[in-house]
Amino acid sequence: MAKPSPSPLEQRRPLSPHLQIYKWSPTMAASIAHRFTGAALYAGTLLLAFYLFAAAGDDRSFDFASALFSSWLGQLVLLGYTFVLMLHVMGGLRHAIWDAGKGFEAKARDRLSVGSFAGAAVLTVLLWIVSFVIR
């Protein structure tokens, strides 16, 4: 038996949900950011491995890596890496709260998501202050 032709409404509907259909929410932004930070941490881990290999190598390699990470661009990259790491940690805590069965109400989800970004920013600033104080 032949399948009936779709109605005009069904023809306009997308085959699968898309970001253009949904209204943006903090939870959506936090979810996308958590996935992005997970991927970005791979690049940061390669930088950490580069620094550790340079530290294990000769003096010239270590001096090069230290100069690179001490430059304004290197410091900016490290600041970004710190924020990305803290945002990923905060996203993990958000998921742990959800795994405990808490925070599923709409307002609670939005507060947790906004809190993830705010907490990551605060932790990043605190870590950098501590790093400059103990230098």
Give 40-97 pLDDT, tens digit per residue: 999 999 999 999 999 999 999 999 999 999 999 999 999 999 999 999 999 999 999 9
Sign of CA dihedral 112, 114, 118, 124: positive
Model pTM score:
0.81
Q: How far is CA 27 from the centre of its chain?
A: 13
H or E, element range at 43: helix 26-56
Nearest to 32 by CA among 103, 116, 97: 116
Angle at 84 between CA 35 and CA 78, to 5 degrees: 145
**Domain 27-133 part of CATH 3.40.1740.10:** no
Amino acid at 53: F
Nearest to 82 by CA among 35, 131, 49, 32: 131
What is the band of 7 on the pLDDT scale with cuts at 50, 70, 90?
A: low
